[in-house]
Every structure is written in C-alpha cells, then in structure tokens.
Amino acid sequence: MIYGGIDVAKYRHEVCLVNDTGDVVLQMYIDNNQSGMDKLLQTLERLSIEPDGVKFCLEATGHYWLPIYCHLSELGFQLHVINPIQSDALRNLYVRKTKTDRKDALLLADLLRLGRAPETKLPSETILKLQNLSRLRFELVRQVAGLKNRVLGILDRIFPEYHGCFSDVFIRTSRELLKSYPEPEDLVKVDLSELSAFLKEHSRGRFGEERAKKIQSLAKSTFGITLALDAFSLQLRLLVEQIEFIEEQIKVLEEAINEVMEELRPSKDTPYRHVIETIPGIGPVLAAAIIGEIGDISRFPNARALVAYAGLDASVKASGLFEGTRNRMSKRGSPVLRNSLWLAAVSARRSNPELKAYYELKRSQGKHSSVATGAVARRLVHLIFSLWKNNRAYDPDYQWSPPGDNV
C-alpha cells in the first residue's frame, strides 16, 4: 500500500508518497487547478499506482481542500481529512521544530501510514448547503453587531443622551431618525410638529408629540462634542444604512436555509424537518447551523466526543500532585457550532423546563451565570446526541440518560 500526504494551499499543493516502511516514493507539487490534477494522475499512472493501491491524507485547511478532495473522491481514491489541530500536535513530537510544505506532506503521509488518520466522508449536498449558508449568516450577524457598536460609539461622542430617546437605539423609528437627523442640532432646528409627524409615521402611531418634545429637550442640552460633526453624522447615516442592507441579506439567507431544511423532512406527514427542531430552545435557524456543523452524527462515538468537537469541554490542567480547579472551556472546536449551542442553551434555560431546572440548580450552587449556561449547553449536546442517534422527537418524559452533575 502507498500512503500519500497532500499539504493543501491556495495556489499549489505539495504531494508526498511513502511505502509501508516509510520510505519516500515521490515528492512533487501540483497546481490547484485541473492541469495540476492531471499531472498527479499521470504521475500515479507512470508509477503503476491504481486508486485502490494508495490512500491520501490532507488537512482541512480553510476551504482549499474541498476541490481536490471532490476530484480524487470521484475517481475512487480513499481519502482521509484531519483537523489541523491534530497534525500540529503530531508535529510537536519531532525534535526539530521546522515547518515546510514538503515536511508537512511527509507528516500527513506518515500519519496515515501509522493508522492515525480516520477515513472521512464528504457531507451530503444538503448538509454542505446548510453548513455554508449558516456560516455566512453567522458572519453577517457578527458584522451587524460590530456595526451597531460603531454606531453606539459615535452617539456616545456626539449625542450621549440619545440612549434615553428610545428603549432600543436600533428600532425602526430610531434608525429613520438617525438617517434623517444625524446631528443633535438637526433635531433642535426641526419644527416640533414636523418631528412629531415624522415619529408618528415611522412608528405607526406609537410615538408622537410627547416623544418629539423629549428628543428635542435632550438634543438642546446634549453634552456631546461639536468637533467634526459633519464627518460623524455622515458615518452615522452610512453605518445605519449598512446595517439595514446586511440585515436584508440575513433575511434572504434565512429563507434559503428554511428551503434547504425542507429537504430533511422525513415525509410530508412528519411535523418536523429534523428531530432536534423538536427540542424547546432550538429554532429553525439554530437547528440548521447545528445540523450543518455536525453533519453525520455517526462520526461521534458518544456525546462527550460531540461536546469536545463543539469546544464546550473543559481544558483540564493537572500534573503530578497538582490539579487545576479553575478549568475553562477549551473553545477548540467549531465556533459556529459552539455559538449556536450557546444561543440554544440561553433560550432553553428559559423555555425548556428540564434545562431551566438544571440551570437554576447550578446557580443555587454558586455558579456564575455563564458557567451555568455552559453546563446547560453541554447537557443540551447530550440531549441532541441521544435524540439524533435514536431518531426520535423530543419528549419531556423520555429517559435520555443525561450526564452527571460534573458537566
């Protein structure tokens, strides 16, 4: 058997082949395109190596590994994909701490030869769509949060009292006000009746003259700076417009995610698309993100492995007689999965009676809110694993064997 390691990069990949004894059979590079693939196949043919006579191992480096994985997989080659964290850990076993593309390819080939790289199957098309759509949504949501922080930062400088105008700075009425009257002076100069009509129109009658008087009063007595107001007001208007634009994109993504989720529905008569949607606290968007990141539940031998994959496990520090007592969440897994599970846990601790009771138990034990929420997230993973593995909908009376209180 021949074992191949492929060090994946954006423009070209380094390929190394070794035999059963670890001797290097071939080292070469191929471009990340069809001609590079043809070069590899021609070389294998020249060496009389058939698809069933070689195994390849590559790292899941960004998204660059996917094209070569798909092409080789379609040709019948056996492929193993590993997390870069795994290869980094093995690299540390070498005495010389050197890292080159050629040595990385050899390392991957050796990892495969020694039986340390599990075989990997490409997710189904539906899972791949959910994964990519959910990841883009996750990124856009983060962008919106960052833009909102910038808006708040500008308001703190030019109109710090504005936070008292509305319960939420980013409600529709407030956004329209900031776009039309970005400076406090604009709000002072506008006629009261005009401002009242503006508020009434954009709030659908919720706000009127009373709110207009309050806003003008705060604007007149503002402690905000007057330097570079034109620049700040332009930033404010553009940032609010950008937030609205991205939020529209998020809506489009959520519609697309909802359509893809329908592909998972077992039958027309089934009231849910996937069993984890039946868990209180997990809505359609979070369910899609969780399913997309986990993919095939059979990849995980138990719930603890899934907890570790999400990065929700504790990073234990112990040596000799020393054992750390302030263990923190490892956060080494999928950030999208971890974030989705965390949001689901926050929701579940309110809407799921069982998990709510567990959260209150942890709080009564003196645990900080974030620590208790982390414990709920881990218990939620155990519940997801059990229901998904057994393909059954959530039932509060179902005995799903939750983990011990040390989670």
pTM attached to this predicted model: 0.80
Same domain, 111 and 177: no
Average the pLDDT over each of 1-10, 82-91, 312-321, 343-352 and give the range with the smallest value: 312-321
Identify the CA nearest to 177 among candidates 166, 231, 210, 246: 166
Q: Per the domain annotation, does 268 fall within a domain?
A: no
Q: What is the DSSP letter of 99?
A: -
Q: How do residues 200-249 score in pLDDT, each as one tens digit? A: 999 999 999 999 999 999 999 999 999 999 999 999 999 999 999 999 99
Identify the CA nearest to 150 among candidates 221, 138, 158, 171: 158
Provide the residue range defining the domain that includes 33. 2-122
- Whole-angstrom distance, CA of residue 26 vs CA of residue 109: 11
> Tokens representing 109?
């080939």
DSSP states of 108-130: HHHHHHTT-S----PPPHHHHHH
Q: Per the domain annotation, does 269 fall within a domain?
A: no
Q: What does the buried/exposed string (b/e) look like for 33-47 if buried means 16 or more CB atoms within 10 Å of the residue's CB?
A: eeebbebbbeebeee
Same domain, 138 and 252: yes
Q: Per the domain annotation, does 226 fall within a domain?
A: yes
**Which residue has better confidence, 159 or 395?**
159
Same domain, 136 and 240: yes
Q: How do residues 145-203 score in pLDDT, each as one tens digit? A: 999 999 999 999 999 999 999 999 999 999 999 999 999 999 999 999 999 999 999 99
Q: What is the mean pLDDT of the chain?
A: 88
pLDDT of residue 321 exceeding 80, the answer is no
Same domain, 12 and 107: yes
Average the pLDDT over each of 12-16, 25-29, 111-115 and give the range with the smallest value: 111-115
Same domain, 107 and 211: no
pLDDT of residue 319 exceeding 50, the answer is no
Which CATH number covers residue 135? Answer: 1.10.287.4070
Structurally, how many domains does the chain consist of?
A: 3
Same domain, 170 and 234: yes
Percent share of the chain, pLDDT over 90: 69
Are 348 and 279 in contact by the 8 Å Cβ rule? The answer is yes
Confidence bin at 317 (pLDDT 50/70/90): very low
Which CATH number covers residue 98? Answer: 3.30.420.40
pLDDT of residue 323 exceeding 50, the answer is no
Same domain, 43 and 118: yes
Same domain, 172 and 217: yes
Same domain, 75 and 173: no
Same domain, 164 and 239: yes
Q: Per the domain annotation, does 263 fall within a domain?
A: no
Same domain, 356 and 291: yes
- Whole-angstrom distance, CA of residue 144 vs CA of residue 138: 10
Q: Per the domain annotation, does 187 fall within a domain?
A: yes
Q: Is 378 helix (H, G, I), strand (E, B) or coil?
A: helix
pLDDT score at 111: 87
pLDDT of residue 324 exceeding 60, the answer is no
Last residue of one domain, picked from the residues 81, 106, 122? 122
Last residue of one domain, picked from the residues 79, 95, 122? 122
Last residue of one domain, picked from the residues 92, 122, 152? 122
**Which residue has better confidence, 129 or 324?**
129
pLDDT score at 354: 87
Q: Per the domain annotation, does 397 fall within a domain?
A: no
